Structure formats: structure tokens, C-alpha cells
């Protein structure tokens, strides 16, 4: 009997020991998870709070105002439902013209900015003694603010080109660049491309420097010319950079505001009023905040849709290549 009792007591003590040993790792893992959650909250919490206050709250508040007739000043807010959107698509011809003009500008700016940026990247990645100076010179316009840059180019178009036209007699310099609808549009394009090409160039430089030189040397040995190397080796390898640059230029071109405001302010006779300037004028000049928010919501949906489609299609081409 004593032996049986001793065996039972030993079994009980073993069970208690096993239970204690199994509880310790569980308790330790739980403490570790709580610690990680606390650290995550400590570091991410303030950023998320700031993002919520600065971005999310105004965004959802703007969506609410887009269904009202608020003028942006008084406290009287009336719910009007879809009336603002019906007005935009049926009666607001200036909004429709600004949308088409912005689309045209975006297509032109995307193509020119990427072509010039890639060309500059190819230039400054060659074995040139002045390549570092050229990189600095080409990137410098991006450091200037859009408004300041616009006012500088406004002086160049109005005074500088006029003086060059008198001295040289070249018809190109004698044009009223900012006084005519067609030339004013191309004036905005010139300034925007001149400013943005340097930034795009930096991205393409980083991609070109990662192209393996062994592949290029092997292609040269096999008799490939520069165009064949560029088309069949360089371009497929820099495809991820092309996706990034297309995304950046698409978003920035659709949202152009400062250069449009400082160069032409939408003139002459609103012929160069881009969508962002049209929204600003509607909300803060005409004091029709509700309609302005409706335009901004449509603008956001269009830009988001185009950006997602562009990135998706570009990624598929990267995989195929």
C-alpha cells in the first residue's frame, strides 16, 4: 500500500510539474505579443493619428459636403443629394472642358516628361567628364517651387521672348505665348516638363546603373548595335522604373495647379483652366463649396482609377518581358 501511495503521489507531482512547464511558454509568448503590440502602437499610433486628422477626416468630410449646398462660409448646410453631380454633367460646361483639357495635357506631359527624362538619364550615364555637373543642372528645376517657377517663366514668355523676337526676328519668339489659347497650353507643357524631367531622370539613372554590363558586352560581341541593346536588353530591365515614372507623372499631371495658376491663371478666357484650378475657383472664389467638393470627388475617382489601371497593366508587361 505504501508503494502504491508513493507512486500516486509521484504521478501527481509529475502532472503538476508538466502543467507548470506548459504554462510558462504560453505566458511568455503572451507577454511577448503584448510587448510587440505596445511597441507597434507607440511607433505607429502617433503617425496614424496624424494621418487620420490631416487626411482621413477631411476626406470623408469632403465627401459629405459634396452632397450639400454649403457655400464654405455660413453654418447653413442643406442636403441636396445627387443634385451637384447632375449639375456637373449636364450644365457645367466649363468643368467638362477643363476635364478634357486636363486629359489632353496629362497625355502630352506623360509622354514628353518620360521621353526627355529617359534621354537625359542615358546621356548622364555615359562616360562623360561633365556627367555629375549635368545631373545637377538637369535636376535643379525640380528644386524650385511651382508658383515661383511659373512666375519666372511668365517673365520669360512675356518679356524675354519679346526681346529675342525684336533682336532676331524669329517668328517663334514673336508669338503671344500666354495670350493665345494654343500657345498658352504649350507654354504650360514646356514649364511642367522642364521641371519634372530632372526628377524622372534620377529614377531612370538608378535603373540604368543596375543593368548588368556583362549582358551589354555580350550583346556587343554578338554584333548588336546600340538600338538593339536599348530595345532588347536595357528597356526590359528598366521596366519597373518605367512603371514608377508613369505612375508619378500621371498623378502629378492630373493634379497640376501651381504652374497653371502662376502662368495663365486659366486664361485667356478660361481656355487653359485645368481641373484642379477649376475646383479651386469653384470652391474658394465662387463660394460654392458643395459643388467644388463634388468636382474634387469625381477628380479623385478618375485619378485613382487611371493610376490603378496603369500600374496593373505596366506590372503585367514587366512579367511578360
Query: Does 19 score more than 80 pLDDT?
Result: no
Instruction: Report the pLDDT value the prediction gives residue 231, as an integer from 0 to 100.
Output: 87
Residue 45 lies in a domain: yes
Residues 37 and 151 in one domain: no
Residues 142 and 195 in one domain: yes
Instruction: Report the pLDDT value the prediction gives residue 23, as an integer from 0 to 100.
Output: 47
What cell was used for 182? Answer: 494654343
219-243 mean pLDDT: 88
Residue 79 lies in a domain: no
Instruction: Report the pLDDT value the prediction gives residue 12, as an integer from 0 to 100.
Output: 55
Residues 57 and 89 in one domain: no
Residues 100 and 32 in one domain: no
Residue 192: CB partners within 8 Å, gap ≥ 6? 109, 113, 253, 256, 259
Strands (E), the chain: none
Confidence of residue 13 (pLDDT cuts 50, 70, 90): low
Confidence of residue 6 (pLDDT cuts 50, 70, 90): low
Residues 174 and 240 in one domain: yes
Where on the phi/psi map is residue 81: left (φ > 0), alpha (ψ -120 to 50), or beta? left
Residues 52 and 130 in one domain: no
Portion of the chain with pLDDT greater than 70, in percent: 90
Instruction: Report the pLDDT value the prediction gives residue 311, as an integer from 0 to 100.
Output: 83
Instruction: Report the pLDDT value the prediction gives residue 320, as an integer from 0 to 100.
Output: 53
Residues 302 and 214 in one domain: yes
Confidence of residue 232 (pLDDT cuts 50, 70, 90): confident
Residues 53 and 131 in one domain: no
Confidence of residue 18 (pLDDT cuts 50, 70, 90): very low
Whole-structure pTM value: 0.82
13-27 mean pLDDT: 51
User: Cis omega before residue 182 (within 30°)?
Assistant: no
Of 63, 109, 111, the residue nearest 260 (C-alpha): 109
| CATH code where residue 90 lies | 1.10.3720.10
Instruction: Report the pLDDT value the prediction gives residue 8, as an integer from 0 to 100.
Output: 53
For residue 35, the enclosing domain spans 20-65
Residue 187 lies in a domain: yes
Residues 140 and 228 in one domain: yes
Please count the structural domains in the chain.
Answer: 2
Confidence of residue 25 (pLDDT cuts 50, 70, 90): low
Residue 7 lies in a domain: no
Where on the phi/psi map is residue 266: left (φ > 0), alpha (ψ -120 to 50), or beta? left
Residue 4 lies in a domain: no
d(CA 163, CA 37): 66
d(CA 201, CA 196): 9
Least confident of 24-33, 148-157, 246-255, 267-276: 24-33
Residues 272 and 304 in one domain: yes
Residue 207 lies in a domain: yes
Quick: pLDDT tens for 153-201. Answer: 999 998 898 888 888 888 888 888 898 888 999 999 999 999 999 999 9
280-298 mean pLDDT: 93
Residues 192 and 295 in one domain: yes
Instruction: Report the pLDDT value the prediction gives residue 79, as an integer from 0 to 100.
Output: 94
Residue 299 lies in a domain: yes
262-284 mean pLDDT: 91
Confidence of residue 38 (pLDDT cuts 50, 70, 90): confident
Instruction: Report the pLDDT value the prediction gives residue 149, as an integer from 0 to 100.
Output: 87
Quick: pLDDT tens for 104-133. Answer: 999 999 999 999 999 999 999 887 888 889
Query: Does 296 score more than 80 pLDDT?
Result: yes
Residues 115 and 249 in one domain: yes
**Average of per-residue pLDDT values in the chain:** 86
Residue at a domain's end among 5, 35, 65: 65
Amino acid at each position: 500500500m505504501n508503494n502504491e501511495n508513493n507512486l500516486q503521489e509521484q504521478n501527481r507531482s509529475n502532472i503538476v510539474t508538466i502543467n507548470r512547464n506548459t504554462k510558462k511558454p504560453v505566458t511568455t509568448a503572451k507577454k511577448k505579443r503584448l510587448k510587440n503590440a505596445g511597441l507597434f502602437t507607440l511607433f505607429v499610433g502617433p503617425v496614424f493619428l496624424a494621418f487620420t486628422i490631416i487626411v482621413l477626416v477631411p476626406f470623408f468630410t469632403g465627401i459629405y459636403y459634396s452632397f450639400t449646398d454649403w457655400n464654405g462660409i455660413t453654418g447653413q448646410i442643406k442636403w441636396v443629394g445627387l443634385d451637384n453631380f447632375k449639375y456637373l454633367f449636364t450644365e457645367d460646361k466649363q468643368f467638362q472642358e477643363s476635364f478634357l483639357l486636363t486629359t489632353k495635357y496629362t497625355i502630352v506631359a506623360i509622354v514628353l516628361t518620360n521621353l526627355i527624362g529617359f534621354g537625359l538619364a542615358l546621356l548622364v550615364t555615359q562616360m562623360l567628364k561633365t556627367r555629375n555637373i549635368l545631373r545637377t543642372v538637369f535636376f535643379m528645376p525640380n528644386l524650385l517651387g511651382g508658383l515661383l517657377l511659373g512666375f519666372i517663366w511668365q517673365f520669360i514668355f512675356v518679356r524675354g521672348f519679346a526681346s529675342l523676337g525684336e533682336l532676331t526676328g524669329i517668328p517663334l519668339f514673336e508669338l503671344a505665348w500666354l495670350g493665345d489659347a494654343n500657345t498658352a497650353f504649350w507654354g504650360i507643357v514646356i514649364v511642367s516638363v522642364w521641371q519634372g524631367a530632372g526628377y524622372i531622370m534620377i529614377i531612370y539613372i538608378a535603373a540604368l546603373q543596375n543593368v548588368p554590363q556583362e549582358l551589354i558586352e555580350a550583346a556587343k560581341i554578338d554584333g548588336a548595335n546600340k538600338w538593339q541593346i536599348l530595345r532588347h536588353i536595357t528597356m526590359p530591365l528598366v521596366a519597373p522604373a518605367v512603371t514608377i515614372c508613369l505612375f508619378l507623372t500621371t498623378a502629378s499631371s492630373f493634379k497640376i495647379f501651381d504652374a497653371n495658376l502662376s502662368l495663365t491663371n486659366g486664361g485667356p478666357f478660361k481656355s487653359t483652366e485645368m481641373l484642379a484650378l477649376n475646383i479651386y475657383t469653384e470652391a474658394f472664389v465662387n463660394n460654392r463649396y458643395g459643388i467644388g467638393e463634388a468636382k474634387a470627388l469625381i477628380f479623385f475617382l478618375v485619378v485613382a482609377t487611371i493610376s490603378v489601371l496603369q500600374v496593373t497593366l505596366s506590372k503585367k508587361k514587366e512579367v511578360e518581358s
